[in-house]
Structure 1
Amino acid sequence: MKKITILVLSIAVLQSCKSEPKTEVSPNLKAEFTAVLDGYYEDGLKLSPINATTAGDHRYDDSFPNSLADDHIAKVKAYYETYKAKLDSFPDDQLSSSEQMSKAILQWECDINLNEFNYNANLTPIDQMWSPNLFMGQLASGSSAQPFNTVEDYENWMKRVDGYLAWLSSAQERMRQGMESGHVLPKSLIKKVLPQLQSQTVKNVDQHLFFSPIKNMPADFSEADREKLTNAYESMILERIVPAYENLHTFMANEYMDAGRESSGIQGEPDGDAYYAHQIKRYTTTDMTAAEIHELGLSEVARIRSEMEKIKDQVGFEGDLKAFFDYVRNNKDLMPFTDPQEVIDNFNAIHDRMQPQIEKLFDVKPKTPFEVRRTEAFRESSASAEYNPGSLDGTRPGIFYTPIPDVTKYNVYSDESLFLHEAIPGHHYQISLTQESTELPKFRKLLWYSGYGEGWALYCESLGTELGLYTDPYQLFGMLGAEMHRAIRLVVDTGLHSKGWTREQAIQYSLDNEAESEASITSEIERYMANPGQALSYKIGQLKIRELRNKASDALGANFDIRQFHNQVLETGCVPLALLENKIDNWIKENS
């Protein structure tokens, strides 16, 4: 296994995190440091109130600041500059090891976000996969984080929609600026956005997504309130939401489409190479270059292919591996369902099968409830399976969403590895345990570093055999296929954004090396086009966590306890990989 070279953080930071401070910590300094961390968290929620809502903090449910407005951008920049400066007042040797880690993380947060201002990401604010309009659709459904339990909740949502519509208008203005400077989406992505926008232009209010909360009003609302809210939501939809989406759809279908890029990667934009380097650092939390990652990807693809060959031989397939991919893609025995609920039931059955084994690997489990749900129809055609965290207080469950656009074509061969990744013990354990921690400062409970978070989830896919899964060779092939999928990402993401690959080249490379359907692969490649670098985080993080597990097992021998290793990885929440490695190294020393 190739060693992942992690980001070189300040030597002073890493050294200081190795032990408790030698001098006694001043109570005043400790209180001041805690106040800085709390201030960072609270001020951050005011700037990004959607984060508060998703965390279960409903103080700002009526707010949607226009993140594309110049004054808001200035506030965000000042926020990071202010807190970066405040950290200088706290010497590392006057902080506990936990506080030193919080300081190092906050320094990272401020630096990486300030660096973002050097680029023009806000000139492409809407895409088919990641942009705020899609999450607002989830909230509008009434079955997500935005509450609709009281009249005030319904009124809060209307106020939030006001802010959102201002953002939607600014998005069009920013895209016009992008057209002038060469910062535009590829045409292939614009085509995928258009039906998403059009779905919000239906004039039959009863069928409109934003009317869903009205159709599910609590029974205890008075008739007067029901009538008032129904009329208000009808007006909001017909007079403001539908016209806003129609206007944006017309713009993107005509002027913006004409200006759309023919190139597939971010290299096609001004400063594309520099921006991609920033994205690699943001998502992997390493200093690896695009060229290094590309070569690592090629190496991992070759290694996993050799493991796949063994499965092919085991099931008695006589063709080559590419033919076996086609066989798995089109095997009707692996597409057994006729009702979407059967897909949900299958994931729940996987959960039941692994339950007896979970305590062998984990002695700390989250209290937050967990559910499997079908992805909402309005975004299902372009969505990947995903996990949405529960609330900080655990009252709202963590939700594993799975898209089922055509149940008759739903292939089950990778469902076990998918559940381990998106659900248990992947994202649900990792995120819920972080949110439930009584030790971590609040700001660390909402952090997300893909190198750690997605790396952990991909690492969890390799635990299937230990959890009593992968007894079916096709499910084991599905695990290898999922790992191959992430290895391919190293190749195609860097290919698209640093080597001039076209969308079609990337699709073909994926078809040649994995068993996903062409439709699924196409959606995935377009996902990488929309958010350069994000797809790199999975494999980089997985390799680092597996490397650390092997290091600890070799060093501790009979004293190695896999449950304690997992506790060490999970207890500090999302951290840059350099800090995780330092933590595990210290744990090994303490237990040797």
Structure 2
Amino acid sequence: MKYLLSSLCLCILLSSCQLSNRNVTGEDNKELAALLDNYYEERLQFYPIEATINGDERYNDRLLIDFTDEHRSRLRSFYKNQLTYLTRFDRENLNANDQLSYDVLKRELEVNIEALGFKDNYMPLNQFSSTHLVFMQMGSGQVYQPFKTVQDYDNWLKRASVFPAYIDSAIVYFKKGMGSGYVLPKILVERMIPQFRSVITDTAAASLFYGPVNLMPVSFDIGEKKRLSGAFNTLIVEQLTPAFRRMANFLQNEYLPVARSSTGIAAIPDGEKYYRFLVKQQTTTAFTPDEIYETGLSEVKRIRAEMEKTKDAVGFKGDLKSFFAYINTDKKFTPYKTPAEIIEAFQSIQQLIQPNLEKLFGKTPKTGFEIRQTEAFRAASASAEYQQGTADGSRPGVFYVPILDATTFNITSGMQSLFLHEAIPGHHYQISLQQENTKLPKFRRFGGNNAYIEGWALYCESLGNELGLYKDPYQYIGALGDEMHRAIRLVVDVGMHAKGMTREEAIQYMMENEQISEAGAIAEIERYMAIPGQALGYKIGALKIRALRTKYEQQLGTKFKVNAFHDAVLKDGALPLEVLEKKMDLWSTKQ
């Protein structure tokens, strides 16, 4: 009840703020600051895993069952109360920074309230972005969840003890979906089943979740080591392994037979309306699915023409499809023998761009950075990704590279552009600088919008020439392939979820227009099936940032400084695109 009491106190505090928030000095509004801090603190209690990921260890022992109707009802009330408090402020009487916070929070609250009107909680888990996968990462002792002190170990034991109830509740909600038409596509269920079976072991010591015991600090008292080892053994054997087995058996025996054969989200009740909402949520624009689809077709055509030029420039005789087959199969493009060689190749990219970064950025992050191979238990269904560090520097940002077979890792797969996107200056710069900026209210320091975050990272791929990359035409074709990949997403995501495109048609369209294996295309398309709309943010966001840069280059002429532009884009955190444009237009008038 703590958050309800603090909300009541804040309500009393703000009861007269409409009369008192007139800002004649330009200073930050203290009452608004109190609301923003209160919002962030209360919200974390609904999202304890998010707090752990952000480096806030106060809730490391909590795991809420966040898809139940009861939980969502409490969350809806929380958002509505916060929106009531916020709209008592007169936005026009706030300074520029407070106006940004007002605009960001108002949109966030309104969108979150709307989201809770759909029954997506009847499909509580999927194969790509799901609590069970995060839980497995945390329980391995390698990611997010700290295991440095005895208290850390006890926190995990308490958090993990809730997971069997999480699984059992997920089964209940999957069954609700089964009874009302809210079910996942069959193929996604088939992908989930081996994920759950992969951590079922005969002994606790063989379990992924025994990792923290193997990593136990030598400084622990022998008695504590014995107690914790015994507790982990009991947790794994009596709670976690049976829970994972229950879900695997349920999915195999009960859910899979009734899962849907259709591809898109439009097939569920209110699916078309839900997808339109997801487009708005994920792009932070007013674009319609049809507008995004047409943009995708146009971008595919433009990038394909550039690919044709590059193919001709290297002297290849044949069509683009043959060229893709050539670079996918010729042994000279797969020179690696071990995962370590691939990691070293990415490290060399980092060294190559380092001298040029200061030309493009005035401010760089303090947070540490590492490149790691993706853990084996999730590599088969994982994409290369960035996992953020902590604002206090205790955990570095990590660029993860899934490597199933080093001998098949292709150097033309866009290694340079991938690094610019997932690592530096993409996600690592944007997220780290945002978290390190203590002048931002915490909900902005540790929050974000998909279109900005992924749009920025994709925009960074276009900086390759300025950073000294893409000199090799085969690396450039890889960069074009990555850009094409994001353009294709606009077509296939809308196509599957709003235009009746099947999974098989989407896979075929992807393979016809980019250098990707069939296995790679299948994994990508199934990702878009699992999280509709999310893949749209990349290209929409990148197009907006590039358009803003072009506009200011033309308007400002010699006054335009690219490092100042980049610093300004990153300065205020991950804003909705419509808010970003208004902010940057104001910035341009002051140059």
Change (3 A) 1:578 1:26: closer
The match for 2:68 is 69
**Which position in structure 2 is the counterpart of 1:16?**
none
Tell me the equivalent position of 2:302.
303
1:522 is aligned with what amino acid?
I
1:372-521 equivalent positions in 2, closer than 5 A: 372-413=371-412, 414-521=414-521
Preserved contact between residue 40 and residue 442 of structure 2 (Cα < 8 Å): yes
Residue 554 of structure 1 is matched in structure 2 by 554
Offset of residue 26 of structure 1: 9.6
Q: Which amino acid aligns with 2:113?
A: L
Partners of 1:89 and 1:492 lie apart in 2 by 42
Q: What does residue 7 of structure 1 align with?
A: none
Q: 1:34 maps to which residue? A: 33
SS at match of 2:179: helix
d(CA) in 1 for partners of 2:80, 2:164: 29
Task: Quote the residue 1:6 is aligned against.
Answer: none
1:53 deviates by 0.7
Alignment of 1:92-241 (within 5 A): 92-241=91-240
Tell me which amino acid in the other structure corresponds to 2:563: R
- Letter matched to residue 246 of structure 2: N
Does the aligned pair in 1 maintain the 2:111–2:281 contact within 8 Å? yes
Q: Partner of 1:467: helix, strand, or coil?
A: coil
2:81 maps to 82
Deviation at 1:545, TM superposition (A): 0.3
Q: 1:90 to 1:26 in 2, by over 3 A?
A: farther
8 Å CA contact 2:52, 2:144 repeated in 1: yes
Cα gap change, 1:567/1:381 in structure 2, threshold over 3 Å: closer, same or farther?
same
SS at match of 2:589: helix
**1:252-401 mapped onto 2 (5 Å cutoff):** 252-401=251-400
Gaps of 5+ in 2: 1-20
- Aligned partner of 1:537 in structure 2 is 537
Decide whether the 8 Å contact of 2:161 with 2:235 is kept in 1. Answer: no
Give me the whole-angstrom Cα distance separating, in 2, the residues matched to 1:85 and 1:451: 27
Q: Which amino acid aligns with 2:493?
A: D
Q: 2:517 and 2:252 mapped to 1: Cα distance? A: 28
> Could you tell which deviates more after superposition, 115-124 or 552-561?
115-124
Structure 2: which amino acid aligns with 1:523? A
Whole-Å Cα distance in 1 between the matches of residues 277 and 25 of structure 2? 36
Deviation for aligned residue 1:67: 0.6
Measure the CA separation in 1 of the matches of 2:184 and 2:339.
33
Q: Distance in 1 between matches of 2:88 and 2:494?
A: 40
8 Å Cα contact 1:25/1:95 also seen in 2 = no
Other structure's SS at 2:372 match: strand
What SS is found at the alignment partner of 2:394?
Answer: coil
Tell me the CA shift for residue 448 of structure 1.
Answer: 2.1
Distance change (3 Å), C-alpha of 1:543 and 1:124? same
The more displaced of 579-588 and 532-541 is 579-588
Aligned amino acid, residue 347 of structure 2: N
Offset, 1:535: 0.6
SS in 1 for 2:535: helix
Report deviation, 1:22. 8.6
Query: Letter of the aligned partner of 2:201 in structure 1?
Result: V
Mapped to 1, the partners of 2:180 and 2:315 lie a distance apart of: 56
Match of 2:8 in 1: none
Q: Secondary structure at the match of 2:399?
A: strand
**What is the distance in 2 between the residues matched to 1:286 and 1:89?**
25
**Matched residue count:** 570
| Structure-1 separation of matches of 2:424 and 2:551 | 25
TM-score when normalising by structure 1: 0.95
Range with bigger deviation, 65-74 or 137-146:
65-74
SS in 1 for 2:471: coil
User: Residues 242-274 of structure 1: CA distance to partner in whole angstroms, max 9, x if unpaired?
Assistant: 111111101101110001110011011111100
Confirm or deny: 8 A CA contact 1:68 1:167 kept in the other structure.
no
- For 2:23 and 2:199, the matched residues in 1 are separated by 61
Q: Distance between the aligned counterparts of 2:166 and 2:115, measured in 1?
A: 20
Distance 1:535 1:51 in 2: 21
Measure how far apart 1:532 and its partner are: 0.4
- TM-score when normalising by structure 2: 0.95
CA distance in 2, matches of 1:81, 1:26: 29
Post-superposition Cα deviations, 1:483-539, rounded to whole Å, max 9, x if no partner, equal 000000000001100011111000000000000111111100000000000011100
**1:68 deviation in Å?**
2.2
CA drift at 1:114? 0.4
Change (3 A) 1:471 1:235: same
Q: CA deviation at 1:409?
A: 1.0
1:45 alignment partner in structure 2 = 44
Q: Is the contact between residue 54 and residue 145 of structure 1 (CA under 8 Å) also seen in structure 2? A: yes
Could you report, residue by residue, the CA deviation over 1:60-93 in whole angstroms, capped at 9, with x for unpaired residues? 1000111123332122111111110001221113
SS in 2 for 1:373: strand
SS in 1 for 2:400: strand
RMSD: 1.3
Q: Contact between 1:447 and 1:574, CA under 8 Å: does it hold in 2?
A: yes
- Partner SS state of residue 371, structure 2: strand
The one-character-per-residue Cα deviations of 1:341-365 (angstroms, maximum 9, x if unpaired) are 1111111110001111111101100
Q: Percent identity?
A: 48
Runs of 4+ in 1 over 6 A off after TM superposition: none
Partner SS state of residue 44, structure 2:
helix
What is aligned with 2:5? none
Aligned partners of 2:284 and 2:454: how far apart in 1?
A: 12
Aligned to 1:3: none
Q: CA deviation at 1:135?
A: 0.7
1:165 Cα shift? Answer: 2.3
> In the alignment, residue 456 of structure 1 is paired with which amino acid?
W
Contact 1:489 1:535 survives alignment (8 Å) = yes
**Could you list the per-position Cα deviations for residues 190-237 of structure 1 after superposition, in whole angstroms to 9, with x for gaps in the alignment?**
111011000121122222111100011001112111111111101100
